[in-house]
Chain A
Amino acid sequence: LAKTTQPISMDSYEGQEVNITCSHNNIATNDYITWYQQFPSQGPRFIIQGYKTKVTNEVASLFIPADRKSSTLSLPRVSLSDTAVYYCLVGDMYPTFSGGYQKVTFGIGTKLQVIP
């Protein structure tokens, strides 16, 4: 399993763009990169997923360099409601064994605190 490393915490002011970088030096060819958001006492919620280059949706952008050994989640113009823990995960989306079981590992994530 590819291990991920991300900052433990980050602070940002409202309205700023926030970039959270995740390192995954041992990422495998079949691995995708997925980011989740978790509020206290709630289950993680999917934000964005990508394999290479850039992915953008209505919530965030994900930048993945050519070597795929890192990725950056970009949150445009954060608000107080974006205060949460953000997890970077790396895993095989199309496993060919174990009946299609996909195994991913959650780290401790990055605690983002948005300041008024």
Chain B
Amino acid sequence: SQTIHQWPATLVQPVGSPLSLECTVEGTSNPNLYWYRQAAGRGLQLLFYSVGIGQISSEVPQNLSASRPQDRQFILSSKKLLLSDSGFYLCAWIRVGDTQYFGPGTRLTVL
């Protein structure tokens, strides 16, 4: 069966510090991968999606970036965090003709 991992589960970072969140998928190949952010009491905002290694598309301009160094690995990064980057970050994967499967999420608090 397919499994999606995210780490860390929670993170508290000061403003201006770097960020690296990792997402890995098991049990599938060539998944489409997604990064979402959910602010408190809000819906899910699509940040990035990737259809393959090295292929990243950004949905919204921001100080975040994403990379896909391996088929089943998706990384969300920032060089300098802002207060507004706080939120719940979710990684998801999908295959064509199937639904999206979400990871457990990372709770990021920027102080």
Q: Select from chain B the residue with minimum beta-carbon distance to A92.
A: B96
Task: Determine the distance from Cα of A46 to Cα of B102 in the docked complex, in whole angstroms.
Answer: 9
Residues from chain B with a CB closer than 8 A to the CB of A99 are 32, 51-52, 55
Chain A residues lying within 8 Å of B98, measured Cβ to Cβ, are 93
Q: How far is the CA of A105 from the CA of B44 in the complex (A)?
A: 8
B64 cross-chain contacts in A, Cβ below 8 A: none
> Residues 28-59 of chain A: 1 if any B CB is under 8 Å from the residue's CB, otherwise 0?
00000010100001111110010000000000
Interface size on B, residues (CB 8 A): 27
Contact between chains at A95 and B100 (CB < 8 Å): no
B90 touches A43 (CB 8 A): yes
By a CB distance below 8 angstroms, the chain A residues around B74 are none
Which residue in A41, A44, A49, A102 is a CB contact (below 8 Å) of B102? A44
| Complex contact B99–A49 (CB within 8 A) | yes
A13 within 8 A of B: no
Give 23 A-B contacts (CB < 8 Å), ordered by A residue.
A36-B100, A43-B92, A43-B103, A43-B104, A44-B100, A45-B102, A87-B43, A87-B44, A93-B96, A93-B98, A95-B96, A98-B51, A99-B32, A99-B52, A100-B32, A100-B96, A101-B51, A102-B94, A103-B49, A104-B100, A105-B46, A107-B43, A108-B43
B-side residues, CB < 8 A to A, are: 32, 36, 42-46, 49, 51-52, 55, 57, 88, 90, 92, 94, 96-105, 107
